[in-house]
Amino acid sequence: MPYNEANLFAKKIPDDLKITLEAAYEKSAELREYLDSSAEARHIFSQAKTLEGMIRQTGKHACGIIIGDQPLSNIVPVMIQEGALTTQFPKTPDEELGLLKADFLGLKTLDVIFGAEQNILRARPGETFDIEKIPLDDPATYRLLNSGITTGVFQLESEGMQNLCRRIGLSAFEEIIALIALYRPGPMQFIDQYIEGKKDASKVQIPHPLLKDLVSETYGVIVYQEQVMMAARIIEGYTLGEADILRRAMGKKKPEVMAKQKAVFVERAKKFNNIESGEAERIFAILEKFAQYGFNKSHSAAYAMLSYRTAYLKANYPVEFMAAVLSSELGNLDKVATFIEECEAINVKVLGPDINISREAFTPIPDKNWLPPDRGEIFGESAGSIRFGLAAVKGIGDSASQKIVEERDKNGAFKDILDFAKRVAPNKRVMESLILSGAFDSFGVDRAVLMASADAVLAHAIDLRKDSEIGQQNLFDLLGGTAESPDSAASILAQNVPPMPLADKLFAEKEYLRFYVSGHPMSDYAGLDDALDYEPDADLIKRISKDRFRLCGVISNFTKKLSKKDNKPWAYFTLSSRSGKSWQINFFPSAYEKCKDSLADGLCVCVVGEIRCEKDGEVRYNGESVASMKTAAVDSIKRCDWLIDADLHPERFVKMLSNYVYNDAEGGNVEHRIYLKVSDDDCLEVAESANMRSSFNAQAFRRLKGEAGVIKFAARAFPIPEPERRQFGKWKK
């Protein structure tokens, strides 16, 4: 069965927790109709019912530890899985045999919090900070949570959690505990009741007057297992042990056990609080409903504390916190890209490495005067920046970066590249990695000059170390040294070397840092790429199997292959957008033959092709044509709209645009229109602008967009052209 059809089949099963196939058949008329209409579906459904409930595979709990009072092999069968001793029984039989199962969680978040704390202490000498002593009523923390800026905040990162934070309007730590307990399959159905009760006290539903104090904290919703147990104690006078037995019975929903527990509950409610049987049965039903989904409050509270602490750090120390988050994900490029994007979103610039500032990990450079504002945007003003860590540079590694930082901490900052080479004694690979990543840019020497001088610097550094070891001094040393002495880099740097082009800098940064920090190759086309880009929604593709796409970006990881069938060349590559998103694009033999001269690493291109959802569910992007961004900006952009501030010399912009159209980029067909903003709600079109048409000039276009009076720029693109298709022996549109 094809993936898209199987997906439709699966969606006909009701989305109820732990529903069986038989129950799904009874409940869903849509499913019954589908099975009646398809013999293949009936066969699959029959096979699925046979497999239902069978053990699919063995597994090992990520953090569950079984504890007994004697060797476990005396009590349960055991086996070795992935090098660890495990029981052959699952959790429930182990517990029924009297063994204790405890979960010991190892969370990366703990490393992030510790790293952020160390960053704060290191970046702010003289200040004291202890994460254990932060207040639980910090206004900035709740403002951050309620604004949904929770990327990097433990348990609250997902889009659903961000929306829920905005809806609830968190104001107390206890509400974070409840939020984490509620946002799971099952209890999610009570979220609206919880929010309604929080916003309007008159709508809080109390199960029984005796339980008012118990459920007031959660606005009438029984969220936690502990609440079920306490309700049993309040209504029936259960001991804690008896209440726990009732909670477990309710959670497991075994009919015979529940009938027995219900009878005891009704009898003891009458005896302990003189509650009539009908009322007792109603309370029992309410407790039973919530007990099926109740979460352990102590677990939720521990998670909520980590959520609050990470939110506190992000709200009050965003630079130190995000540096710790980035450092924790050094090996995961996708996550690092996500968190760099988040840094930009909260006004924290991520800069390249600096040999005199960067430590091994991502290094915070906070503005010590920054404080979260009482109102307005939390991150409207920048709280500082973050430097790439030396260990994050390709070709450096932990050992070399640690050696560099230790030498700098011990003997002070490096004066120049020769001083660095003399004191650290790096190999050529480390030296070139640091040069090309921009780590020596603060010395004020172009990267091309440093690359041309690397061998000479390393050789001279060796000579200087030898002289130092034997105690030999030169004439310049005796005279106190000069700028051109053999101990200074200026004396040996290569001369007459042209500066490294920006494109080469960016290419090297992508290679050594995996990211662009000096800019982006697509920056010249900002706004145009947004207009050209078209990528259909993933769910749509799975429904319709294929559609057209047009995407702009820079090519990297270009790989050429030969087809297995007829040995013809084809290629695939990564296309990276200005926003950080990337796609793998395939150019199969016929398309590659047409476009091979336009495909190479580092080129900024616009790719048009077909996106397909295969039977296995994998989405593929197959390119059909490619154009340079300069060509696409002329051929595929229909119109450019410019919104100009009427109070900031609009005549200056009109003059600049006229010069662009008639001198810098003449001869094209891209239409330009100018609009003057005269109030918050109104703008006027400049009539003469309708006749302005141009081609594209990147440098001049960049100057236009940077003009002070430009409020907004927006481009409009022509539709994606339909491909040529073969029909009756001829090619037709």
HEC string for 420-464: HHHHHCCCHHHHHHHHHHCCCHHHCCCHHHHHHHHHHHHHHHHHH
Domains located in the chain, CATH noted: 3-51 (no CATH), 64-103 (no CATH), 109-132+317-392 (no CATH), 185-294 (no CATH), 397-491 (no CATH), 524-633 (2.40.50.140), 637-717 (no CATH)
Helix, strand or coil, per DSSP, at residue 708: coil
> For residues 516 and 509, what is the distance between their CA atoms, to the nearest angstrom?
6
Q: 562: part of which helix (H) or strand (E)?
A: strand 546-562
**pLDDT the model gives residue 300:** 93
> For residues 462 and 573, what is the distance between their CA atoms, to the nearest angstrom?
42
* Pairing state between β 619-628 and 582-587: parallel
**pLDDT the model gives residue 284:** 85
pTM (two decimals): 0.72
Nearest-5° Cα angle at 190, 188 to 194: 120
> For residues 580 and 705, what is the distance between their CA atoms, to the nearest angstrom?
21
**pLDDT the model gives residue 482:** 46
Q: 284: part of which helix (H) or strand (E)?
A: helix 277-291
> For residues 365 and 438, what is the distance between their CA atoms, to the nearest angstrom?
17
Dihedral of CA atoms 501, 504, 508, 513 in degrees, nearest 10, equals 70
Burial of 195 (0-12, 13-18, 19+ CB in 10 A): middle
> For residues 177 and 158, what is the distance between their CA atoms, to the nearest angstrom?
17
**Long-range contacts, 235-244 (Cβ 8 Å, 24+):** 235/208, 235/210, 235/211, 235/265, 235/269, 235/272, 235/273, 235/275, 235/280, 235/283, 236/264, 236/265, 236/268, 236/269, 236/272, 236/273, 237/268, 237/272, 238/268
Backbone angles phi, psi at 353, to 5 degrees: -70, 150
**Long-range contacts, 127-136 (Cβ 8 Å, 24+):** 131/309, 131/313, 134/309, 134/312, 136/173, 136/308
**pLDDT the model gives residue 529:** 92
**pLDDT the model gives residue 691:** 72
Tokens 């319709």 label which residue? 544
Which candidate, 127, 698, 19, 114, places its Cα nearest to that of 368? 127
Q: Which two tokens stand for residue 385?
A: 């920046």
> For residues 303 and 156, what is the distance between their CA atoms, to the nearest angstrom?
10
* Pairing state between β 604-613 and 582-587: unpaired
Mean pLDDT in order along the chain per 10 residues (733 residues): 83 83 89 91 92 85 90 93 90 89 87 96 92 96 94 92 91 94 86 91 89 90 88 87 80 73 87 89 84 83 96 97 93 80 90 94 94 88 94 90 95 94 93 95 94 93 82 53 58 89 87 84 89 84 82 91 85 88 91 93 92 79 94 89 86 87 83 86 74 82 85 90 63 51
**pLDDT the model gives residue 486:** 56
362 close to 354: Cβ distance less than 8 angstroms: no
**pLDDT the model gives residue 483:** 46
